Chain A
Amino acid sequence: MAWFLIILPLLAAVLAFSTRSVTLRLRLLPVTGALHLAALLFALRSWNALPAASGLGAWLGLDALGGWTLLVISVLFCVCAFYAPAYLALRPERDNRVFVTSFLCFLGLASLLAQARHPGLVWVAMETTTLATAPLIYFNHNRRSLEATWKYLIIGSVGIALALLGTLFVAYAAHMGGLAEPLTFSRLVQGAGVLSRPWLRAGFVLTLVGYGTKMGLAPLHTWKPDAYGESPGVIGALLAGGVTSCAFLALLRIYTVVAAAGELQFARELMVGMGLLSMLWAAVFMVRQLDIRRLLAYSSVEHMGILAFGIGIGGRAARFALFHLAANALVKGVLFMSAGNINRSYASKRLPYVTGAIRRTPVSGWLFFLGFLAITGTPPFAPFISEFNIAATALARPYLWTGVAFLVLLGGIFLAMSDTVVQVVFGTPPPDRARTPYRDTLATTAPLLVALALTVTMGLWLPESLSGMIQSAATQVEGQR
């Protein structure tokens, strides 16, 4: 099953690249997405019986943490894959071969990353993900998207290179402790006591910087507004919910080893610091942000900060940070794709040209507004549950001020974001702005409605088995086996 999840999307990618039929290519996306999700759910049906390690030397295996992350990615991919054909039909002038191939490659690589049991393999999967998604950013083939692609490639590759150095540092820490290859995560966690501390600490800092760059934690997020701003909405959704989740998982894998080695406090402080800095940075740049895509990109920086913060606070907050991973991915999907629809209708993504979306594209306008309410932590949406619980845990801790800072930043971000969003959604449509032929259709809105419905469901009720899986993943992250 492990291989099936990886090979299926990659085979589909090969088929998409080699076929000449545009219709076949467009059908491949939803079909592969649905098959992948079904296979994953089948593999996870008895997740607690899964041999998490399946032997100390195993290279691939699905555990609670990887399974949960891959589930989030797979669901988001499905939403994007059902939306993408309708979007590509609106852009007949652009060849969709590279788009579909890259999209499918991403899913295969994410499956590899989520199941990889060796830090080196995780790194290879993450780097390949960067390379596979770079052509997506260049989809529009203009100067602005070219600039965004270049920044994404260079900053992403340098970041990932530092993560490789960090991974090698951890391997050297194990070498000094006398652990033998293959250094799977199971073996590293089991033998964490003998790892050399200076190398392990330095390795963690480097992987935090490296994978943090891919997640888009401030101040390493500089590629993010450009990449998300210049690529189509559906790609922004996949990057903001999928690629970032991959990087987060890669970071958590190393975090787990550090925690098991008894350096939890050290790692926690770094995560809390990076988390709060990201939220602060995002809040500052969201104020009077006229470009709605860039606004969403900064919102993504903020939510990566929330993830890091939650993990750093630990305990119950770590559990809700993992829950937030799903909440963020789904809502980002809704936001980016509805913003994409609005852009289509106005042929712009900036204030003051885009105002009164609710009258021009009522469904997308409402989806965008509800997505905004959801992402800023309004009940009954899922992000409310996670943000509330992370804040509550932080406030109950000895370092009370981090919880206070977290809440203040959330409030500030709500205000900063609402300023732009309210104008975009409820303003008066500019009379001199020509209306493009785009109209909301079932195909461009139904996947988003499903994603939003899932967010509401998650906010109200989570199946027993899923909450158990998150619980188990969170204890795993904190270094307990």
Chain B
Amino acid sequence: MLQDLLIALIVLTNFTLVATSRINKAIQVAVIQGVLLGLLPLAMGLGRHLHIILMVAAAVTVKGWLIPFLFRRAMTKVKIRREVDPYIGYTASLVLCALGTGLALVLASNLPLAPGSEFKLFVPASLSTLLTGFILLITRRKALTQVVGYLVLENGIYLFGLMLVEEMPMLVETGILLDLFVGIFVMGIVINHITVAFDSMDTRHLAELKD
């Protein structure tokens, strides 16, 4: 029951993400989503396994503490606080997100689950989160919001991975978390360079190269 509630909350955060114009808020919501995801294994009643406790601790540390730290560092150097003038408006993004969630439900109903699986909501919620990440990546202009989109996309994949959390080797899980952290770290550095070079982090400036 608790796990379904958490998943419902995660899907709600998706809608908040596409509807907000404040970059700060988008980051906060993405972080909340990450922490909810990190805690989900406990709600799934897996709290007795040591490796899962370690996993939860690692995920919450990375998604709830290290990544927000990277974002805050990037934000202090940037003057802009709002996502101005996205390629697709907020209402339209919200409609797209709703359509995406519908599509996720249809797609998920075509994929069979292991018999007796308790994870009926995982696949549609994961695909819906994935599509939300895509929407943010494609329709936003600010480099930082695009990184938020990437984070949300990874969150969606992480949610799917939780269906296999009992079997997944520690090595792989750690690797995935580490890569997410380093990825966002490197993107933060590049954003910093973009801000210095263009005095803005609008990706519209990044349109010089074409055929």
A124 is contacted by which of B134, B175, B206, B207 (Cβ under 8 Å)? B175
Q: Give the complex CA separation of A175 and B112 in angstroms.
A: 12
B203, A124: Cβ atoms closer than 8 Å: no
CB of A153 closer than 8 Å to a CB of B: yes
B182, A168: Cβ atoms closer than 8 Å: no
On chain A, the residues within 8 Å of B207 by CB distance are 147
B179, A128: Cβ atoms closer than 8 Å: yes
Given contacts A120-B172, A121-B172, contact A146 B112 (CB under 8 A): no
B163, A172: Cβ atoms closer than 8 Å: yes
CB of B1 closer than 8 Å to a CB of A: no
On chain A, the residues within 8 Å of B163 by CB distance are 172, 175
A128, B182: Cβ atoms closer than 8 Å: yes
Determine the interface band of chain A, counting residues with CB < 8 A from chain B. 35 or more
Give the segment of A36-44, A176-184, A440-448 that binds chain B.
A176-184
Distance from B119 Cβ to chain A, minimum over Cβ atoms (Å)? 10
Given contacts A146-B190, A153-B190, A294-B211, contact A165 B157 (CB under 8 A): yes
Given contacts A151-B206, A176-B114, contact A158 B130 (CB under 8 A): no
CB of B169 closer than 8 Å to a CB of A: yes
B190, A118: Cβ atoms closer than 8 Å: no
Smallest CB gap from B161: residue in A:
A168
CB of A333 closer than 8 Å to a CB of B: no
On chain B, the residues within 8 Å of A294 by CB distance are 211
A158, B153: Cβ atoms closer than 8 Å: yes
On chain B, the residues within 8 Å of A182 by CB distance are 169
B186, A153: Cβ atoms closer than 8 Å: yes
Distance from A354 Cβ to chain B, minimum over Cβ atoms (Å)? 17
On chain A, the residues within 8 Å of B167 by CB distance are 171, 175, 180-181
Distance from A90 Cβ to chain B, minimum over Cβ atoms (Å)? 24
B198, A127: Cβ atoms closer than 8 Å: no
B206, A146: Cβ atoms closer than 8 Å: yes
A150 is contacted by which of B110, B176, B190 (Cβ under 8 Å)? B190
Distance from A200 Cβ to chain B, minimum over Cβ atoms (Å)? 11
On chain B, the residues within 8 Å of A124 by CB distance are 172, 175-176, 178-179
A147, B209: Cβ atoms closer than 8 Å: yes
Smallest CB gap from A289: residue in B:
B211
B contact patch SS? helix
Report how many residues on chain B are interfacial, defined by Cβ distance under 8 Å.
44
Q: Give the complex CA separation of A171 and B156 in angstroms.
A: 16
CB of B146 closer than 8 Å to a CB of A: yes
Smallest CB gap from B123: residue in A:
A172
User: What mask results when residues 146 to 189 of chain B are scored 1 for a CB within 8 Å of chain A, else 0?
Assistant: 10001001101100110110011101100110110011001100
Q: Give the complex CA separation of A118 and B206 in angstroms.
A: 38
A147, B206: Cβ atoms closer than 8 Å: yes
Given contacts A120-B169, A157-B150, A172-B163, contact A230 B209 (CB under 8 A): yes
Q: Which of A99-133 contact B (CB under 8 A)?
A: 118, 120-121, 123-124, 127-128, 131
Given contacts A131-B183, A147-B208, contact A181 B169 (CB under 8 A): yes
A143, B198: Cβ atoms closer than 8 Å: yes
On chain B, the residues within 8 Å of A300 by CB distance are none
User: What mask results when residues 292 to 304 of chain A are scored 1 for a CB within 8 Å of chain B, else 0?
Assistant: 0010000000000
On chain B, the residues within 8 Å of A196 by CB distance are 112
Smallest CB gap from B143: residue in A:
A150
CB of A52 closer than 8 Å to a CB of B: no
CB of A6 closer than 8 Å to a CB of B: no
A198 is contacted by which of B112, B182, B187, B193 (Cβ under 8 Å)? B112
Given contacts A128-B179, A131-B186, A181-B167, contact A168 B110 (CB under 8 A): no
B194, A146: Cβ atoms closer than 8 Å: yes
Q: Which of A193-243 contact B (CB under 8 A)?
A: 196, 198-199, 202, 225-226, 229-230
CB of B197 closer than 8 Å to a CB of A: yes
A172, B171: Cβ atoms closer than 8 Å: no
Distance from A175 Cβ to chain B, minimum over Cβ atoms (Å)? 6
CB of A325 closer than 8 Å to a CB of B: no
A164 is contacted by which of B157, B169, B182 (Cβ under 8 Å)? B157
Q: Give the complex CA separation of A180 and B168 in angstroms.
A: 10
B111, A202: Cβ atoms closer than 8 Å: yes
The 26 sampled A-B contact pairs (Cβ below 8 Å) are: A118-B169, A120-B168, A120-B169, A121-B171, A124-B179, A138-B190, A138-B193, A150-B194, A150-B203, A151-B209, A153-B187, A154-B150, A154-B187, A157-B183, A158-B153, A164-B176, A168-B161, A172-B160, A175-B163, A176-B112, A176-B113, A176-B114, A181-B167, A181-B168, A196-B112, A225-B209
Using a CB–CB distance below 8 Å, which chain A residues touch chain B?
Answer: 59, 118, 120-121, 123-124, 127-128, 131, 134-135, 138, 143-144, 146-151, 153-154, 157-158, 161, 164-165, 168-169, 171-172, 175-176, 180-182, 196, 198-199, 202, 225-226, 229-230, 285, 289, 294
Closest 4 pairs (CB-CB, A-B): A120-B172, A124-B175, A147-B206, A181-B167
Extra A-B contacts (18), CB below 8 Å, given A123-B172, A128-B182: A59-B171, A120-B169, A120-B172, A120-B176, A138-B193, A144-B208, A150-B194, A150-B203, A151-B206, A153-B186, A158-B153, A164-B176, A165-B156, A169-B160, A171-B164, A181-B168, A199-B112, A225-B211
